[in-house]
Amino acid sequence: MLPFSRDEASLRAAFRWDVPERYNMGVAVCDVWAAREPERLALLDVDAAGEVDRVTFGALRKRSNQLANLLVKSGITRGERIAILLPQSREVAESHIAIYKAGAVALPLAVLFGIDALLYRLHDAGVTGLITNAAGLQKFKSATEPLPEFKLLLSVDGDDGDAKNFHFALASQFEEFTPVDTLADDPALMIYTSGTTGQPKGALHGHRVLPGHLPGFELVHEFFPHEGDLLWTPADWAWAGGLLNGLLPSLAHGVPVVARKFEKFNPNEAYRLMQDFKIRNIFVPPTALRMLRTIKNPRAKYDLHLRSIASAGEALGAETLLWAQEELGLTINEAYGQTECNLVIGSCNALSMVKPGFIGKAVPGHRVAIIQADGTECARGEVGQIAIARPDPVMFLGYWNRDEASHEKFIGDWMTTGDQGVMDEEGYIKFIGRDDDVITSSSYRIGPVEIEDCLLKHKAVALAAAVGKPDVLRTEIVKAFLVLRAGYEPSTALKKDITQFVKERLSAHEYPREIEFVESLPMTTTGKIIRRELRARV
């Protein structure tokens, strides 16, 4: 854990990694607490009607042990990949814990994936087991290519042909299980990257990925845990953000997590959930935060008990930061990382380690730099690529069956991110954009984030994305795709007003020379804007 300190320099000087040689994530997030306090609350599983299933660490240990026994009995051996295709629920937590304790590798899959995306990942990973629901099974029935030959296929919604009833199958298994004695470096988790080019790649992580996340998690949640903390995230637990910035670190600290799957994110329902369960800690992607912004005076409408707000996935922007301070009375702490090496940069209001427009500083224990193409470090204030030094506990083991891609991810001992950034004299890092998102106009290199942040300040704009459009004279011009707030209609006059608004607040080379009003923006399952799809439209 981070040593508590109100002084950043003292905290950094005192921090030391303590990752055991032998470590198992399933034991760390469940069995340790079940042995101490079996009745301690672990999960609040909330359904659409508001009914709550309260799950203790003791119950979590029992059910995960039963599932681990079933995995072994089904012939699943150490290192085999088991896919989980479920929305937030107690079964997701039980499945992850069981897979880790059995020495297998968990492969979380987003419920929003279509059949082609699912089949690609299942086949590429060589999956031998799948835990899903009726909706997931229905997707697979539409497949035109064969499924992998599963040793075990379970459905939480009951028997369905070859799928066994998850709950009935567990009920017949022993409640005791001896976890596999795993090394911290043994494979435990694989999450596919969305990727900007080519097919997604499976980023394979060892059990050490969890302790590697804890310092950053504690930092962005204001020295987590505090007495009475309760965490919720709308992020899918299949995403590194939802799983490793939310569920697993919270359970590792013995702090309960609220599970609530929204079919579609609704800001009023989100606030109501926070109110009804007295949620204290939230991890919310920037897109969802911008949707929360559409509710005026939330503290007047809802009785909120929030203590910490963290966000990651894309740069937040100064406007959203200011909104939270004014409307929620809290500073949003940003986190930065990638599926391959997550939560290595962060901000922390308790340390006064927040700077508007910057994503934060390197989290204690991680070495982060801005580098040039040859791997040398940039001067302060010089734009380059954000990179993380190895070894690092949170860093991936490599890409699944992609040795060449794994090698290409590094320049010497620097793991590259493909993100452009700049570090100031104090060590704060500003995110400029993905290598392929940066706009080159009249010899200027323009990051989309600053433009989007300015656009969001306009009273008519709900969501914004900025991309470069090829231009003979300027190389590229800035084009903005905008989703309007309720009550505003697209018009030429509105375009001119928004254009002038940005021009006056940024500069003559950064304002959008073209604006297109759209009903929605293309998003990844993690809530990031897919700018390459927008670039393809220009």
Kindly report, residue by residue over 456-511, the tens digit of the pLDDT. Answer: 989 999 999 999 998 876 778 899 999 999 999 999 999 999 999 888 777 666 78
Range of the domain at 522: 436-537
Task: Single out the residue in 176, 206, 236 at which a domain terminates.
Answer: 206
The per-residue pLDDT for 367 is 98
As for how many domains the chain has, the answer is 2
DSSP-derived letter for residue 28 is I
Looking at 151, 178, 206, the residue that finishes a domain is 206
In the numeric block, which tokens belong to residue 370?
A: 């801005």
Confidence at residue 154, expressed as pLDDT on a 0 to 100 scale: 98
In a domain, 217, yes or no: no
Residue with tokens 């030094």: 389
pLDDT at residue number 153 = 97
Residue 196 pLDDT: 46
CB 228 within 8 A of CB 256: no
- Structure tokens that stand for 43 in this block: 């999960």
Phi, psi of 516 (to 5 degrees): -125, 125
Judge whether 109 lies within some domain.
yes
**Residue 148, domain CATH:** 3.40.50.12780
CA distance 132 to 332: 34
The letter for the amino acid at 216 is G
pLDDT of residue 195: 52
Which residue, chain included where needed, has tokens 């029992």? 62
CATH number of the CATH domain containing 492? 3.30.300.30
Kindly give the residue spans of alpha helices, DSSP state H, lying in 296-412.
298-301, 318-327, 403-408
Residue 321 lies in a domain: no
Give the torsion sign (CA, 265, 270, 272, 273). Answer: positive
Structure tokens at 453: 């942040």
Q: Which amino acid is at 277?
A: F
Q: Would you say residue 93 lies in a domain?
A: yes
Residue in 339, 334, 384, 337 with CA at minimum distance from that of residue 365: 337
Rounded distance between C-alpha atoms, residue 89 and residue 391, angstroms: 34
Looking at residue 406, its pLDDT comes to 96
Model pTM score? 0.85
Q: Tokens 């990925």: give the residue.
A: 209
Dihedral Cα 39, 43, 44, 45, nearest 10 deg: -130
Long-range contacts of 134-139 (CB under 8 A, 24+ apart): 134/158, 134/160, 135/111, 136/85, 136/86, 136/111, 137/161, 137/163, 139/114, 139/115
Residue ending a domain, choose from 169, 187, 206: 206
The CA dihedral of 323, 485, 523, 345, to the nearest 10 degrees, is -10
In a domain, 517, yes or no: yes
Residue 388 belongs to a domain: no
- Least Cα distance to 89 among 154, 156, 179, 148 occurs for 156
Whole-angstrom distance, CA of residue 398 vs CA of residue 185: 12
Residue 56 CA: distances (Å) to CA of 42, 43, 254: 5, 7, 10
Ranges of residues in the chain with a pLDDT under 50 are: 196-197, 443
The answer as to whether 467 is a domain residue is yes
For residue 100, the surrounding DSSP H or E stretch is helix 90-101
**Is 346 part of any domain?**
no
Question: What's the pLDDT at 319?
Answer: 83
